[in-house]
Structure 1
Amino acid sequence: MMGDREENMGFDDVVTNGIVVTAAETLPLGIEIGIKDGKISCLGTSLPRFSHTQIIDAKGGMITPGGVDSHVHFAQDNSPTGDNFTTGSRSAIAGGTTTVLAFASQLKTEDSVLPCIKDYHTRAADRSYCDYGFHLILSNPTPNIMTSEMPLLIEQGITSVKLYMTYEPLKLGDSDLLNVLMSARELGFTTMVHAENSDIISLITDRLEANGHTAPYFHATSRPQIAENEATYRIISLAELTSTPILIVHMSSEIAMKHVRKAQTRMLPIHAETCPQYLFLLSERLKGSEKDQFSGAKCVCSPPLRHDPKDLEAMWRGIANGTFTTFSSDHAPSTYDHPGGKKLGLKDGIMRYKNIPNGVPGVETRIPLLFNHAGSSPSSRLTLQRFVQLTSSDPAKLYGLEGVKGNIAPGYDADLVIWYPDRDEGEELAALDGFEGKDCVGSG
């Protein structure tokens, strides 16, 4: 009986000998983390050990909350060669992300969103190695959906929708955008927006094609910054008119970012997200190589990679100064050498960038890339606390996971990442996932 009582009272795990880093502070070496039933039970020094307690020695590493990637595309119909929940979630765990928020996508021909939500739950169930939740891609926001179905989804823990201002199968006009924003204000769900001017892109694409400019590099030419700038200003205006919080996803343009920053200084609830590709890659990557001129298709994404290193620096400023609330991967891979993947843009030896599936991978590399630039040294671009905010705590707060994900504190899931920045490449992190790939209650 004593053994049973001891097991019920004691910790299942104690993480020791690490430096705990949260969004608010860095705790001194010596603070231990006690874990019980997959939850953080307490923080303290010299926590008691019992016969069943597993000791996890962090060996002087830095311990941060498990990453929350709030923008990933798994098992989507428009990416048949991309990741499913099994392959994608394994990559997430390998990169220190323990929770992903993927998308359930409504078709314009569907007058209900409930079947698509059920379908995407089926695609994920019992297949994920990490915790997951869903955003709803809303392409046909009928009055019945907004008044009857969205409240049901919110009760189920799906508290966010994504709207597109471009892409013919998905885009919404200003009238529909306004109606969704007004419903969001009333019901309290989070509205994400892909902001690019569809007509600008279509006009340039048609003219480029008429002149034979269809190689992958011209994808970046067809989607100039002004298309993102105009759409960003417009959606901020619509959000201000309706007094609705929004988050503008995968931003890449300095002027568009300045629109967000200016709105924030006026105390408008405008949030923004950027992604690794807009911090590290330029449009030169789209040109391919002498051996394979089409290989630039690997880097086709929207908004596109920009041309000038100054654009990368602008996004870094937004990372450091708080303009961006979240740093997500927008993970959307397609197999390159496959007729149903990126090679859709290459037929009979002719390259057509508009047929190349959009997207690049990133769910595994998102956090390590940013961690490499975090710290207290003069060369660091952001603090460790800011790193945790961007990759974990802020997306958790924004998408209904506060109190569960994004922090190292009693009551939170024991999703932890241990970093060893001074070790050899390939040995810099270990992810500890407190749950076992279950759908996140209350997630976006």
Structure 2
Amino acid sequence: MQQFDLTIRHGLVASDEAVYEADVGIIGDKIVAVERGLPAGRRDIDATGHYVLPGGIDTHCHVEQRSGMGVMGADDWYSASVAAAHGGTTMIVPFAAQHRGHSLKQAAEEYTALATAKSVIDWSYHLIVSETDSKTLNEDLVEQIRRGITSFKVYMTYEALKIDDYQMLDVLALAARERALVMVHAENNDVIRWVSQKLLESGSTAPKFHGTSHVALAEGEATHRVIQLARLFDAPVLIVHVSAPDALATIGAAQRMGAQVYGETCPHYLLLTEDAMDLPGVEGAKYCCSPPLRDAGSQEALWTALNDGVLQTVSSDHAPYRFDETGKLPYGDATTFKQAANGMPGLEARLPLMFSEGVNKGRMTLPEFVALTATNHARMYGIAPRKGLIQAGADADIAIWDPKHEVTLTASALHDRVGYTPYEGMTVTGWPRIVVSAGRVIVEDGKFAARAGSGRFVPRSTPLPFQNERPVSARGQFFRSLAIGEAREGHTSFGYSDRQN
């Protein structure tokens, strides 16, 4: 009889498709058996009355990263990974950011060193690309893709990071060629800039005007524009942190047309509204993020989009800026909405919020919760079947959930270094009692046991949109070939007319 290092018995295992009774047997860092009636291991965990879920994967969080405004977040790789683990997340994929004038390769190497030394859970990262010169795209980015960093993010707003449409075409063409997934922050920068300037000139400087300046039409327009640019090459694209019905409608329409367009949202868009930015004084700055919080109607549209499959993932977009001069308030009480750092913390609370507000309130099933917080992330970003699944051969990353345990969210009870939570005082029902990372019990009833640097780098394979090859249209073939200099007059393989598409 096989001897397990760890068994989890008598619980209900949940996948993205079903919930069923089974025991889980673990040897080393791998799951080796998922079936009923397994014998006790060297360590045996009784999961009676609990759900046994894949550890969460957060593929959009900002960790030990300097923003485009030059503000360093409060969390480093250690504090962020500890916070993630306490909330049931066993892998994070934040961003190695290339700032203007800096080397993408150097940014990646420096970020890798930080994660290697500090993370307590497994990790990868996306790249943030702000330069599109030949060395960045054709050397550094290609090198990173081939070492397992198969996704990267670009911005259509933020002066210090944004790329224009011409640059976007270069990025999309390269991504189509190298089979990498482009993540896009889609907001029309000039609309935001124009509205912001007019507001500031009129003396409208309070945090609530952040929402006014980031009008939903700016998100909708940019979403439509980048989807059309991607269609030039039949290149997949993922729109991050979707917040508004206009953008949702555009994504849904593109999907129905057959475009490979994917979407992500975050708990704060599902659970908070723009009213939070209208608190007295500068308190509302705690709730300023981009895109901004919207209204109750937008919340309902987002829940519907999750149910309908228009959006595939829920990430935290953890942006850990303290509520002081180092983060949200560089000029104290005189800070305008344009000067406050953008973003909110949420790494630890993501899974409990979605379980409590989603599963327990009947907005989603438990398998849908598993898909949106773990399995879809693993598949989308080339981490499956190693992560995001409870099956033989997968990494033993597991969160054992007590579905009835109530926790009141407070900044003092959470494990990040931000000093506030936008969910202060909210009670959630359902919390991970035990968290297993690569076969190690690292969280048990609130007690933590893992050393800095014990997390591992996980190279990622081909993203989901490229795994099942789809026919590329004549248009896509022509413009992909044009991008690499192979399209030429008289070459029948690349004959193309808009009338064909």
Question: What CA deviation, in whole Å up to 9, does each residue of 1:340-374 have, x standing for no partner?
Answer: 11111x34x42311110111001111111111134
Between 188-197 and 78-87, report the one with greater CA deviation. Answer: 78-87
Question: What CA deviation, in whole Å up to 9, does each residue of 1:39-63 have, x standing for no partner?
Answer: 100111222346xx11011122011
SS in 2 for 1:152: helix
Which residue matches 2:307?
A: 320
Identical amino acids, percent of aligned pairs:
37
Shift of 1:423: 3.0
Distance 2:28 2:385 in 1: 16
Pick one of 97, 111, 130 that aligns with 2:89. Answer: 97
Distance 2:162 2:312 in 1: 24
Distance 2:343 2:128 in 1: 16
Which residue matches 1:75?
A: 64
Matched, 1:305 2:293: yes
SS in 2 for 1:27: strand
Letter in 2 for 1:326: T
Letter in 2 for 1:262: A
Shift of 1:114: 0.8
Letter in 1 for 2:387: K
Give 1:411-426 correspondences, 5 Å limit.
411-425=393-407
Letter in 2 for 1:302: S
Question: What CA deviation, in whole Å up to 9, does each residue of 1:63-99 have, x standing for no partner?
Answer: 1100000001000123424211111111101111100
SS in 2 for 1:14: strand
Distance 1:432 1:286 in 2: 37
Which residue matches 1:367?
A: 351
Matched, 1:342 2:328: yes
Matched, 1:296 2:284: yes
Which residue matches 1:216?
A: 207
SS in 2 for 1:420: strand
Which residue matches 2:79?
A: 87
Please list every run of 5 or more consecutive structure 1 residues that lacks an aligned counterpart in the other structure: 1-5
Distance 2:158 2:27 in 1: 47
Shift of 1:320: 1.2
SS in 2 for 1:242: coil
Which residue matches 2:143?
A: 152
Pick one of 437, 457, 462 that aligns with 1:433. Answer: 437
Q: Where does structure 1 differ by over 4 angstroms across 4 or more consecutive aligned residues?
A: none
Pick one of 158, 165, 169 that aligns with 1:178. Answer: 169
Shift of 1:311: 1.0
Contact 2:224–2:250 (Cα < 8 Å) also in 1: yes
Distance 2:79 2:201 in 1: 40
SS in 1 for 2:184: strand
Letter in 2 for 1:388: V
Contact 2:87–2:431 (Cα < 8 Å) also in 1: no
Letter in 1 for 2:263: A
Distance 2:89 2:45 in 1: 19
Shift of 1:149: 2.3
Question: What CA deviation, in whole Å up to 9, does each residue of 1:160-196 have, x standing for no partner?
Answer: 1100000001101101001110110000011000000
Distance 1:372 1:333 in 2: 23
Pick one of 252, 259, 273 that aligns with 2:264. Answer: 273
Shift of 1:155: 2.3
Distance 2:245 2:227 in 1: 15
Contact 2:59–2:93 (Cα < 8 Å) also in 1: yes
Which residue matches 1:65?
A: 54
Question: What CA deviation, in whole Å up to 9, does each residue of 1:19-54 have, x standing for no partner?
Answer: 0000111113xx11000111100111222346xx11
Distance 1:152 1:124 in 2: 19
Distance 2:370 2:406 in 1: 23
Distance 1:43 1:407, change over 3 A: same
Question: What CA deviation, in whole Å up to 9, does each residue of 1:390-436 have, x standing for no partner?
Answer: 10011111111011100000111111111111234377312211264
What's the TM-score once normalised by structure 2's chain length? 0.82
Distance 1:423 1:237 in 2: 46
Distance 1:215 1:12 in 2: 57
Matched, 1:381 2:368: no
Letter in 1 for 2:303: W
Please list every run of 5 or more consecutive structure 2 residues that lacks an aligned counterpart in the other structure: 409-429, 440-453, 464-501
Contact 2:240–2:265 (Cα < 8 Å) also in 1: yes
Which residue matches 2:480?
A: none
Which residue matches 2:447?
A: none
Shift of 1:239: 0.9
Question: What CA deviation, in whole Å up to 9, does each residue of 1:91-133 have, x standing for no partner?
Answer: 10111110000100011212x3111101111221221121111
SS in 2 for 1:136: strand
Which residue matches 2:466?
A: none
Distance 1:125 1:219, change over 3 A: same
Which residue matches 1:118?
A: 109
Matched, 1:406 2:380: no
What's the TM-score once normalised by structure 1's chain length? 0.92
SS in 1 for 2:223: helix
Contact 2:172–2:230 (Cα < 8 Å) also in 1: yes
SS in 2 for 1:402: coil
SS in 2 for 1:355: coil
Which residue matches 1:3?
A: none
Pick one of 329, 334, 343 that aligns with 2:316. Answer: 329
Distance 1:440 1:304 in 2: 32
Shift of 1:216: 0.7
Distance 1:43 1:21 in 2: 11
Distance 2:107 2:396 in 1: 31
SS in 2 for 1:150: helix
Question: What CA deviation, in whole Å up to 9, does each residue of 1:182-219 have, x standing for no partner?
Answer: 11000001100000000000000110000110111100
Letter in 2 for 1:323: V
Contact 2:66–2:73 (Cα < 8 Å) also in 1: no
Distance 2:131 2:32 in 1: 44
Matched, 1:22 2:11: no
SS in 2 for 1:313: helix
SS in 1 for 2:93: strand
Q: What is the count of residue pairs matched by the alignment?
A: 423
Which residue matches 1:442?
A: 460
Shift of 1:150: 2.4
SS in 2 for 1:231: helix
Between 143-152 and 166-175, report the one with greater CA deviation. Answer: 143-152
Which residue matches 1:230?
A: 221
Letter in 2 for 1:331: H
Pick one of 87, 100, 103 that aligns with 1:108. Answer: 100
Shift of 1:144: 2.5
**C-alpha RMSD of matched pairs (Å):** 1.6
Distance 1:309 1:81 in 2: 29
